[in-house]
Structure formats: structure tokens, C-alpha cells
Structure 1
């Protein structure tokens, strides 16, 4: 209790000290030279606004004519267009500072110099943070940078740090202040971006290695990401002095609770690791699961993305692929045998029918020639002699229904050319004459 009272008193003292500095600064503005500098700053801001309104539309129209330029160059021009007022203010304020220092005492241009430094620092931060791809992170880094630069230029960093240090809570023997939290966030963000860069570079090299199977590539990349991001998080906390012992106990308790509440999610995560380890499926495989038929687009931590021939993308939970019956059409190789059934009239020679069917199927594109099609009689039906034609393809991702249709069409043309008829069921109905005498 005493420590909390002392911390509150320290915070009050710091706040009063900052207020006194601001009050003194406000009184100093009433002095003639300070008021004169404020007038110069306002005049420069007005001139910068007029120049931005004058040159902004011209720059925008010129940018619209640059159609073949790279995206990074166009984005830089968009940034310049949005910051025209600040750019003109910086270009005008620094010459004004140099002129004031040459014409009068340096103390009489002190306020103008501070504003010029702030404007230049804000402009540099706005340009540099544009390199960050994530919009949320870019905004956070930009505003934090502007705040830190402003405090540094105004020489208020010690007071701000002391104020943040006083805002703290204690968990056991660990003291967690707002200053430590901000430091941890900054360090973790930097380490995360470093981990992301290393992960992206290494992942590209893993994908380009033909000696590693696709499933093992996915597994290696995911394990690498988990290790790098996890290390970045814990190293960031350790770097700012956070005791990880208490955090480990807390995370263990939370993990047990999440384990019971998220059994399905954990099951899918574990199933995803099993699928990657046993290499039963991999990106590019053609599989059937129930009524879903398509090829694997990607393997996720929780689900597998399957794209069908009609363009639909199914997200199948990993657990279903472990517990259900999956037909992998291209597990060990890409060769797939297809069967089609047809029938001909009893008057046609079955030997000729088999020969013509085999020759017709061999002329169809995608049907393999080195795995010769075969044709067999499978039965004598009511109206036809029934046959089965078996052929092989090596690209199941190209579809199965379309190749069957092409083979049927080739059989139709070949049978029509050789006078072989395809019978259809016929029924004969006889009307018996009714005899009233016999009734």
C-alpha cells in the first residue's frame, strides 16, 4: 500500500513539473521575440498551404500520365502528394531559421528552430514508415515515432519516462510498468520483422529445393515460422527485463484451459502435423473425400484447401482427412486408370468391336499410348453385348469427366464409321382381342 502511495505521489510531482514547464513556455510566448516567431511560423504555414493547393492538382494530373511506372515509385509519389504542405513548410522553415540566426541572436530563433526540427522529423518518419507493408503496424510505428521525436526535441523524455515508470503493477515479485510494456512492444515488433524477413528468405530457398518433397517443404516452413516468431517474442520480453518464470506458469495454466475448450482446434492442428509427417497428401495431389473431388491447393495449420473443377474451394478440416476414407488419385504416381462401359448389337462381331474401341481411345488426347487400353466383354444384356474399356491418363488434375466424355465421343464416331450399332432397350406391346363368349 505504501509503495502505491509513493508511486502516486511521484506521478503527481512529475505531472506538476511538466505543467510548470508548459506554463512557463506559454508565458514566454507573450514576449515580443517569441510572439514574432509565432507569427513567422503561422505565415510559413499559410504559404505552405497555398503552395500545396497550387501544385497539388498539377502533381496529381502528372501522376495520372505515368501509367508504366513501377508500383513503388507511384506509391512514393502518392506519399509526396499527401505530404505537400509539410514538405513546403520544411523547405520554407529551415531557410527562415538560417536567416534569423544570421540577422539576430540565436535565442531569438529558438522557437522557430524547434518547429522546423519537428516538421523535418515528422516528414522523415512519415516517409520511412511507408516501407512497412502492414497498415496497422505502420500507423502504430508512425505515431509512436512522432511522439518520441517530439518529446526528444522538447527535452521531455526523462519526465515522460519517469511518468511511465510510475504507472506500474506488481504480479508476485515481477513489477510491470507502462515503460516496460512500451519497450517490450517496440523490441518485439523489431524482432518480429526480423523473424519475418528471415522466414521469407529461408522459405523461398526451401521451396526452390527440388530434393525436398512438397509436404516436407510445408512442414519445414511452418516449423521455422513457429521457432522464429516464438523466439522473437520471448527474446523481446527477456530483453526488457520481464521475468519469464511467472509467465511460464501463467501460460501453462492458460494452455490447460484452452486445451479443454479448444479440443477440435487442437485436434486439427495435430492432424495437420501428422499429414505433413506421413506425406499421405501433398499440394497438387488429386483426392476424393466423400462427394468432394479436386486437387489440393495448400496445406494449412487447421484445414486443407481443395479446389474443384467448377472453381469452388473447400476448406476440409485436417481431422477429417485423418479419420475419413480419402482417395488419393496421385499419391505414389500420377497414373490413373479409368473405366467406361458401353454396349453393341448382337449382330456385330465382338472381335471387331474390341479392336475399333481400342484404336478409337488411343486417338484421344491425354490417353496414354505406352499403357495400351484394353477392352473386354463383361456380359450379355437384354438388348446388347456389354463391354468395358479401360485406359490410362497421367494428369488427373485435368479432370476425369471430360476425358471420359471425349472417349465416348471417339467411340461414337468410330462405331458410326464402321457400321456398328449401339442398341437401346425395346419393348413390344401386344393387345389381345377380348372374347365376350369365353367370358
Structure 2
């Protein structure tokens, strides 16, 4: 009867449980786990104290990354300590229990590292979606299944079985094992490339010496290059001849010419916007019927945040081919105005300086460009006066500052007893009263005892 690896594993465990060696292995495992936990705990305290003592306070994202690193380091350190203990203890007794504990700790470290990478890519701001949870579950099942096959020794048999199953692809036949290996290689390299792109993006965004648009361009290009390199490397590892990509490139060019013109135009327009710096994140712009602050400049579209909190997605081609009103391109100063009517008896030489002084005291009103009051027209009910002023932060909206200016003007007019005229109309009835009214009046004047 041929003994299988799983049967050998069970036999070795039964033999170990009959000997005192199992106790020494259990004590070594507990000691290594406790030592790794204590070392990692001290490291965590040290890193948090260092972050608190830094000149720049640590962000919640930084603290979260530190905790994730600590969670990965715990099983890694435990596996290293167990490996060292196994090396020395194997000279005196069997170490079958340690041979299982080390892959378990390694698998735990791999699972936690996978969670860290996936969340860094797809949940950078802490929002974990159901799709993200599904990916984590699939990754966990794959890792633990591989660990179980490795420990039981069934992996070579499974690999041989998958090699025996072939799938016809044209004139060639490819085994299922090769297909799975190719899929795993491509997925792993793509995830690592996206992780590197995310890290590059965060590093570039922290470089205040570079212009915002240049940082975004470098980030987008760096991420695209990393993904392209990962795809080419994965195809080479699988064994696909890269010369076939020329055929694919020709087909892609035809598809681009017919059906993907808008997408390509938006993609190119996004890089043009970032390179010529006509728009940057934080600018207050108006394009077509959309007005708002630029919050994102992506490769295909730009996001505008309106004053009412509504986000508008504007295609980049629209920003290139059409006219755009940028309130903060070279000069962030924006002129605003409000109007009020005063009575004809008002002394304008006295009230104008008062209105300008009251407007200048309103927060957000520019002091370098003082407000000005002007007489616009002689209205039907009063003198129409306009008060103009400048603000330097149009991205914060204009409704609030206009309201504050109007309130300051109203208080000034009330304090100085200035009348604000409003339309007054008199209604005159010309001619004799109608007949029904005259009959009613005659009936009221008749004696009360008179009968009709």
C-alpha cells in the first residue's frame, strides 16, 4: 500500500503526541508568539510617540498605515522566530508541529499584507465597499487553500492533475495549470503596479515645490507606465509573444478611429489641461451652464463642486473646445456689486462714504481694492445706487459675502435715517357709482316701516 503525504503527516503527528517532544514544540511556539507580540507592541508605541513628537502632526491615514504595518509584522516576526527555533531544535528531536506552525504564520502575514495592498488601492479614504470585502474573502480563501495543500503535501498531485487537463486554443493546447498560473501572474503584477502607482501619487501630491497640475500629470503618467510595464512583464512570463501586440495595436487604432473618438479626445484633453496649467485644482470656473470649484482633474473628465454642493462632471474636451471663464487663473480678485435705492432728498456726498466704509468692514471684502459707490440712474421712485467691491476667494462662493454686504448697507441706512423708497400707487375711481350701489343706498335711507 502506497502512503500518501497526508497519511504520512497524520502518522508523524501521532508519533509526536506519544513523546515529550510535542510539549517542547508547544512551549517554543507559545514563546515565539509571545516574544513577537511584545516586540511589535513596543515598536508600535515607539512609532506613535515619534509621530506625536514630530513637528507636523501625523494624519489619520499615516497612523492607519502604521497600524497596518504592525499587523503585518506580527506574524512575520513570529514565523522568523519559529524558523530559528526549528533550525536548532531539529538537532535534538522531531519538529513536525513547528513545520506546520511556520506556514500558518506565513499565510497569516500574506493575508494581512494582501488586505493592506488592496485597501491602499481601492479604499484609500477608508470607505470599504461590498466589492472590496468580496475581494478580500476570495484572496483569503485562495491563500488558506494553498497553505492547506502545501502542508498536506497534496500540491504536487494537484499540479500534475491540472497539467493533464488541456484546453484547445486554435492549433495549440494549453493546460489548465498554465492558464491559472498566467491569471495569477497577471493579477499579482497588476495589483503590485497599482499599489506602486498609489504610493507614487501620494508622494508627488506632498511635494509642494511642484505645481499642482504638474504633480497630477506625473502621477497619471507614472501610474500608466507602471501598469503598462506590469502587463508586458506578465505576458512575457506567461509565454505570449509580444509581437502579436502589433496586430492588436492595429485593431485598437481602427476602433479608436471609429467608436472611441470622444474617449480619446477627452483623454488627450485631460493631459493638455494639466500641462498648459489653464486649470488647476481649486480654481473657480464657469463652463457652459456649470459653475463651481475644480475638485478633480481626471484623464476623462473634470469635477466641479457648485456652491449648492452639487458636483458636475464635465468632459475634458468641453473645457478645451469651448470657452471657460476662470475666476482665478492669473488674478484671483473678483468684482461683485449690489444695488439699493435711496430717496431723492438723500445727500449722496454724505451717504456714499458711509456705504463704502460699511462695505469695507465686511469679512472677505478686499482692503487693497476699496469698495466704491456710484449713482447708476434716476429711478421712478428714487436714486439707484450701486456698491461695488472685490473679493480674493471666489472658490468660497459669493452668496454669503453679498448677504453680509447688504446687511451692512441696511444698518447704515437705518442709522442715518435714509429712506429706501418703494413703489406707491394711488387708485382713484372716476365717475358716478354703479346702479346697484345707488339702489342699495336708497333702500337704506327709506323709513324702516315702509314696505315695498
TM-score, normalization by structure 2: 0.68
CA displacement 1:280-313 (0-9 Å, x = unmatched) = 2211011234454321111122222222233333
Contact 1:117 1:153 in 2 (8 A): no
Partner of 1:395 in structure 2? 393
Contact 2:217 2:275 in 1 (8 A): yes
CA distance 1:156–1:379, change in 2 (3 Å): closer
Contact 1:378 1:386 in 2 (8 A): yes
Match of 1:117 among 99, 120, 124: 99
Contact 2:111 2:143 in 1 (8 A): no
| RMSD of aligned residue pairs (Cα, Å) | 4.6
Contact 1:304 1:318 in 2 (8 A): yes
CA distance 1:298–1:174, change in 2 (3 Å): farther
Partner of 2:218 in structure 1? 220
Partner of 1:140 in structure 2? 139
Contact 1:306 1:315 in 2 (8 A): yes
- Using the TM superposition, give the Cα deviation of residue 255 of structure 1 relative to its aligned residue in structure 2, in angstroms: 5.9
Partner of 2:267 in structure 1? 269
Q: Distance in 2 between matches of 1:288 and 1:174?
A: 58
Partner of 1:369 in structure 2? 367
User: Mean alpha-carbon deviation: is it higher for 179-188 or for 408-417?
Assistant: 179-188
Match of 1:418 among 413, 416, 423: 416
- Using the TM superposition, give the Cα deviation of residue 326 of structure 1 relative to its aligned residue in structure 2, in angstroms: 3.1
1:285 and 2:276 equivalent? no
TM-score, normalization by structure 1: 0.70
What SS does the corresponding residue of 1:364 show, helix, strand or coil?
A: coil
Partner of 1:378 in structure 2? 376
Partner of 1:203 in structure 2? 201
CA distance 1:172–1:345, change in 2 (3 Å): same
CA displacement 1:315-362 (0-9 Å, x = unmatched) = 333334334443221122211011212211111122223222222211
CA distance 1:309–1:183, change in 2 (3 Å): same
- Map 1:61-140 → 2, pairs under 5 A: 113=96, 117-132=99-114, 133=116, 134=118, 136=135, 139-140=138-139
Q: Distance in 2 between matches of 1:435 and 1:72?
A: 89
CA displacement 1:400-434 (0-9 Å, x = unmatched) = 01111111111111122222221111112222242
* Structure 2 segments unaligned to the other structure (5+ residues): 27-47, 50-62, 120-134, 435-452
- Using the TM superposition, give the Cα deviation of residue 130 of structure 1 relative to its aligned residue in structure 2, in angstroms: 0.3
Q: Distance in 2 between matches of 1:117 and 1:26?
A: 14
- Map 1:167-186 → 2, pairs under 5 A: 167-169=165-167, 176-186=174-184
Partner of 2:129 in structure 1? none
CA distance 1:178–1:152, change in 2 (3 Å): farther
How many matched pairs?
Answer: 384
Q: Distance in 1 between matches of 2:249 and 2:137?
A: 29
Contact 1:342 1:388 in 2 (8 A): yes
Q: Distance in 1 between matches of 2:212 and 2:257?
A: 30
CA displacement 1:240-267 (0-9 Å, x = unmatched) = 4221222442354256447644554444
Contact 2:213 2:280 in 1 (8 A): yes
Q: Distance in 2 between matches of 1:35 and 1:152?
A: 13
Partner of 2:37 in structure 1? none
CA distance 1:230–1:28, change in 2 (3 Å): closer
